[in-house]
Amino acid sequence: MKLHSLGIDFHHDKDFLIDRPEGSGDDLIIIFKSPAVILQNGVIQSVPADSAVVYSKGERQYYGAAGAEYINHWVHFECDERDAFFDRIELPFNRVIPVSASGTEDILNLLNIEWVSNDGDNREECVDLLLRLLLAKLGGAEGSPQRNPHSAALRSLRAEIYRAPAECKSIAELSARLALSPSYFQNLYKKEFGVSCYEDVLAARLERAKYYLSDTSLSVRRIAELCGFENDTHFMRQFRRRTGITATQYRGDIQK
């Protein structure tokens, strides 16, 4: 895949309208960050923010503002639409699809960095991979259930939990970051991920502990501290309860 151009957070006024009867001469991803209107199946219809359309080459492109301000991201690119990749990701061309905010913005920013960079022999390969990642993200969004308004914040928080589990001190502290009550936060978290936040934090800490046990010579007490457990006794109790063996046995089995 080849990237021709892209724009992030382009703002326009209420009169903004694009109408290209023959398309733009290439494939186009439009991600609406504000409510918009589009022409689909011969009918002008409204679409909500955080929606997208992937226009195929030659398809009419008709979209514009639906309110006082219009904001979008856009990516002009070239691809072979017969590529089996599109069958695998089940990406619908020329149709409105929901956009998962989780990760999409990061991919666009990385794509932009690679696009403006003149360094490295692998630039085109990186651009190709990032384009495929973006399209796969969009393809996977259509079959996803409708998410709650806190979905993006919850997913970001979960990534932080697994990145630094020792920093997650309490449910009250985590819920406060999202300005939610602890009970409502826990309800949303379990609906989003199918597991309670407490169990997720514990799972993240134990995964980190397994790494330290298998790849370092740190003491069990130090590992418990680094992973955020109250003390080594609490750590060892939780480790055995969830793995069926002690931390010492786990380390011994890995090192055999």
- The band of 143, judged by pLDDT with boundaries at 50, 70 and 90, is very low
* Cα–Cα distance for residue pair 49/35, rounded to 1 Å: 5
Q: What is the pLDDT of residues 67-90, one digit of tens each?
A: 899 999 999 999 988 888 988 888
Strand partners, 14: none
Cα 45–Cα 51–Cα 53 angle in degrees, nearest 5: 75
Taking the C-alpha atoms of residue 207 and residue 236, their distance in angstroms, rounded to an integer, is 13
Locate all alpha helices (DSSP H) within 36-100, ordered by sequence. Answer: 84-89
Which residues on neighbouring strands pair with residue 228, listed in sequence order?
Answer: none
- The overall average pLDDT reported for the chain is 89
* pTM (global) more than 0.85: no
Whole-number Å distance between alpha carbons of 247 and 16: 62
Q: Alpha helix (H) ranges present in the chain?
A: 84-89, 101-116, 123-141, 151-163, 171-177, 182-193, 197-215, 220-226, 232-243, 247-255
**pLDDT at 132 (0 to 100):** 93
CA 127 to the chain's CA centroid:
18
Q: Please check whether residue 173 is in contact with residue 129, taking contact to mean a CB–CB distance below 8 angstroms.
A: no
Q: Is the pLDDT of residue 106 over 80?
A: yes
CATH superfamily for domain 151-255: Homeodomain-like (1.10.10.60)
Task: For 52-66, write each residue's pLDDT tens digit.
Answer: 999 999 999 999 999
Q: Which fold has domain 2-141?
A: Jelly Rolls (2.60.120)
Q: What is the CA radius of gyration of the chain?
A: 23
What secondary structure does DSSP assign to 221-255, as a single string?
HHHHHHTT-SSHHHHHHHHHHHHSS-HHHHHHHHH
Domain ranges within the chain, ordered by starting residue: 2-141, 151-255
- Sheet holding 17-20: strands in order across? 17-20, 61-65, 36-40, 43-47
